[in-house]
Structure 1
Amino acid sequence: MTRLRHARRFTFMLLLLLPTPALAKTPLVIEAALDRPVVEPLLEAFTRAHPEIELDYRDRSTLEVDRHARQMQPAPDVVISSAMPWQMNLVNDGLAQPLESDESRRWPAWAKWRNEVFGFTFEPIVTVYRLELARHMLPPTTHAALHRLLITRQDMLRGKVTTYSPSRSGVGYTLFQQDARYSPRFWDLVAALGAAEVELEESTRAMLEGLSGGKYWVGYNLLGSYAMQWAQTHPQLIVQVPQDYALVMMRMAFIHRDASHPGAARSFMNFLLGVDGQRLLAGSTPLFSVLPDVVGPYTAQRLRDQVGERLYPIPINASLLAFVDPLRRDAFIARWNREIRILEP
């Protein structure tokens, strides 16, 4: 009997010495048109707050995110994009599930739709130019001033101006549609861009790389969040919020209807919309917090205080659906091609 007791005790001691298997984490798949280096402080804070969740963050273009949200099997858990009409169209097609939480109910009504999709950033659209430009001409502070420069200094600026391709970028197409809404001279500006042999890019990052490398002198309609962060380490670049009017884009996020890990998705969305997440956006990223009571260098209220009534946020409502109507989009792209007279690759 004593020998049996010793054997049991020895077996128990061996079990204590064996490594304890790690508890399995819950995966969370996020398809996002949002550069990871920009949003990294928020992702790191979420991981610290939820060590039980394994974050799989996939950074893609806006049109890739839209395609994956519709076709990927299994579906992503959370979908994030700056292409606001495409996001609204996904939700309108029934690919989102509602978020019922204190955070979603407190979220500003103007920045959400049916508690299914939420605009969680407030990013100005900007012009970026090299200091080199200022040695030759007065930098443009308005859309009209840019138009004037393209006409009067066309020879010097030929091939040195860049903007989005509306056919290859969902956010670029959205911004140009908004420009056409607010500016009666928009198509004149497009024609002047074409005459200056503008280079069309798919992303703000590509434009910023060209600007910092000296290929471009002026970039039109860049995402202010990326441009402001980039300029911190590239002092040869100046970021200008247009003084006549400034568009504001919101990143929109939702939980996919077929999310494999809906609990983890709800945890992420609540963190994103909560005070802690928004404070991180306002203080540690240039994405600009939406919540009115959050304090930091990057908040919607601070931007409004600086720009005033000339700030034009793109609204989150059913009107966005018109922008992805195939007939309307085809007509817009056809006119763009006529005015700009550039054959895209």
Structure 2
Amino acid sequence: MRGILFAFGLMLCALPALAFDIEATQDFGPEAPLQRLSVLSTTDTAILEPVITAWLERNPGLGLRYVMASSQEVYRAIAEEGAAFDLVISSAMDLQMKLANDGHALALPADLVAGQPVWARWRDLLVSVAQEPVVLILSDSALRAGEEVPRTRRDLIALLRDNPERFRGRVGTYDPAESGAGYLFAAQDARLSDTFWRLAEVMGRLDARLYCCSVDMIEAVRAGQLLVGYNVLGLYALAGHSEGLTVVELEDFTLTLLRTGLVPRMAPEPEAAVGFLRYLLSQEAQALIARGSGLAAVEAAAFERNPHLRPIRLDPGLLANLDPVSRQRFLAEWRAAMEQP
């Protein structure tokens, strides 16, 4: 009995002490693999499950532990806690760039990043694995007879402003103070157009509800709690959650998010991480993701075919948004817009 307790104690000591908030954990592959890759991600497990399964089939004896958390918690796990993960995939491009820029990422093989567009990689440390639009969603009951679906932010402002009783308390968007992706989208909106601040003021007058994540906004719209969700990740709006919704890519501009991957400097299994990342970027894996979820491969031609799509580039501008003074100033302006009498 004493030996069993001692062995159990050693096992507990071997496990990483994870203080950050985890949303879900799932193990793939054999119960006792020869090697287990650990992935920390903001992407729902079901989205990448087909790719994980296919990769493990090609690498018998290996296992994979998939841990899902919010973008802020993913950043905190690596930057502040030094959590032992082999690969990090996140929708918060700016936080991923900060991790890479602050020395938390290992260099990736040159041939792995060379095939990516310049705007879809950061040095040899960070690479995009997929792209997706950031969209507007409307409940089927949001519009009255004769009203047209808003196609631009100006259209949306007019619809909300002219119908305050209908939309009061029934408009949702990200909380940029709590969500890394939400802050990224809001900051990019403000950079591209002054219309964003007019929209923010209108939403504030209508007592807009703030959310941590797209899935919660989508479910609130489907449940009738919201009529409008602004800046929702297209992945979730278009894949499996779209019943009863109208999904709109706004024609003045539609931000296009790049989901990115990096190998942390403290990765226990960096070679396995590079192998999985290489497979994730392969045509086969990209097709598996697209078939299962609609998540698109990184493709420069998509922006030529659809000029309203604007990629959020992996460039130093993303790091500037994370400057504490700039962030505090932006969030203060955001609160002023949201907390109107």
TM-score category, normalised to shorter length: 0.7 to 0.9
Would you say how many aligned residue pairs link Structure 1 and Structure 2? Answer: 311
Q: Which structure has the greater CA radius of gyration?
A: 1
1:212 has 2:222 as partner = yes
Of residues 92, 96, 114, the one that matches 1:105 is 114
Whether the 8 Å CA contact 1:126–1:220 is kept in 2: the answer is yes
Whether the 8 Å CA contact 2:253–2:309 is kept in 1: the answer is yes
Whether the 8 Å CA contact 2:129–2:258 is kept in 1: the answer is yes
Whether the 8 Å CA contact 2:88–2:261 is kept in 1: the answer is yes
Output the CA distance in 2 between the equivalents of 1:140 and 1:106.
Answer: 37
Matched ranges for 1:286-297 at <5 A: 286-290=294-298, 292=299
Q: Write the letter of the residue equivalent to 1:166.
A: P
* 1:97 counterpart SS class: coil
For residue 328 of structure 1, report the CA deviation from its aligned partner: 0.3
For residue 274 of structure 1, report the CA deviation from its aligned partner: 2.1
Other-structure match for 2:7? none
RMSD: 2.0
Other-structure match for 1:240? 248
For residue 330 of structure 1, report the CA deviation from its aligned partner: 0.2
1:253 has 2:251 as partner = no
TM-score (norm: length of structure 1): 0.85
Output the CA distance in 1 between the equivalents of 2:315 and 2:280.
Answer: 21
* 2:142 counterpart SS class: helix
Whether the 8 Å CA contact 1:231–1:238 is kept in 2: the answer is no
Matched ranges for 1:250-329 at <5 A: 250-290=258-298, 292=299, 301-302=301-302, 304-305=304-305, 307-308=306-307, 310-329=308-327
Structure 1, residues 1-33: CA drift from partner, whole Å, max 9, x if none? xxxxxxxxxxxxxxxxxxxx9974211111101
For residue 188 of structure 1, report the CA deviation from its aligned partner: 1.1
Other-structure match for 2:192? 182
Whether the 8 Å CA contact 2:120–2:128 is kept in 1: the answer is yes
1:200 has 2:214 as partner = no
Q: Provide closer, same or farther for how the CA distance between residues 23 and 326 of structure 1 changes in structure 2, counting only shifts above 3 A.
A: closer
Q: Which runs of 5+ in 1 are unaligned?
A: 1-20, 293-299
* 1:133 counterpart SS class: coil
Structure 1, residues 268-310: CA drift from partner, whole Å, max 9, x if none? 11111222222223333222101x4xxxxxxx634642x32x2
| Percent pairwise identity | 34
Other-structure match for 2:330? 332
Other-structure match for 2:54? 45
Whether the 8 Å CA contact 1:190–1:340 is kept in 2: the answer is yes
The structure with more helix, counted as a fraction of residues = 1
Q: Write the letter of the residue equivalent to 2:161.
A: I
For residue 134 of structure 1, report the CA deviation from its aligned partner: 2.7
Whether the 8 Å CA contact 1:121–1:251 is kept in 2: the answer is yes
Whether the 8 Å CA contact 2:37–2:86 is kept in 1: the answer is yes
1:25 has 2:34 as partner = yes
Other-structure match for 2:339? 341
For residue 342 of structure 1, report the CA deviation from its aligned partner: 6.6
Of residues 79, 96, 108, the one that matches 1:70 is 79
For residue 157 of structure 1, report the CA deviation from its aligned partner: 0.5
Between 73-82 and 177-186, report the one with greater CA deviation: 73-82
Whether the 8 Å CA contact 2:190–2:196 is kept in 1: the answer is yes
* 1:287 counterpart SS class: coil
Output the CA distance in 2 between the equivalents of 1:109 and 1:116.
Answer: 13
Output the CA distance in 1 between the equivalents of 2:326 and 2:31.
Answer: 54
Q: Write the letter of the residue equivalent to 2:296.
A: F
Structure 1, residues 107-156: CA drift from partner, whole Å, max 9, x if none? 33321111210011111110001111133543322111111111101111
Whether the 8 Å CA contact 2:42–2:74 is kept in 1: the answer is yes
Q: Which runs of 5+ in 2 are unaligned?
A: 1-29
Output the CA distance in 1 between the equivalents of 2:65 and 2:99.
Answer: 21
TM-score (norm: length of structure 2): 0.86
Structure 1, residues 67-105: CA drift from partner, whole Å, max 9, x if none? 111234552111111111111000001000011153333
* 2:239 counterpart SS class: helix
For residue 51 of structure 1, report the CA deviation from its aligned partner: 2.6
Other-structure match for 2:237? 227
Output the CA distance in 2 between the equivalents of 1:202 and 1:304.
Answer: 32
Whether the 8 Å CA contact 2:33–2:63 is kept in 1: the answer is no
Whether the 8 Å CA contact 1:78–1:265 is kept in 2: the answer is yes
1:130 has 2:139 as partner = yes
Q: Provide closer, same or farther for how the CA distance between residues 74 and 154 of structure 1 changes in structure 2, counting only shifts above 3 A.
A: closer
Q: Write the letter of the residue equivalent to 2:137.
A: V
Whether the 8 Å CA contact 2:47–2:292 is kept in 1: the answer is no
Q: Provide closer, same or farther for how the CA distance between residues 22 and 254 of structure 1 changes in structure 2, counting only shifts above 3 A.
A: closer
For residue 240 of structure 1, report the CA deviation from its aligned partner: 0.8
Q: Provide closer, same or farther for how the CA distance between residues 301 and 280 of structure 1 changes in structure 2, counting only shifts above 3 A.
A: farther
For residue 252 of structure 1, report the CA deviation from its aligned partner: 1.1
Between 220-229 and 266-275, report the one with greater CA deviation: 266-275
For residue 327 of structure 1, report the CA deviation from its aligned partner: 0.3
For residue 222 of structure 1, report the CA deviation from its aligned partner: 0.3
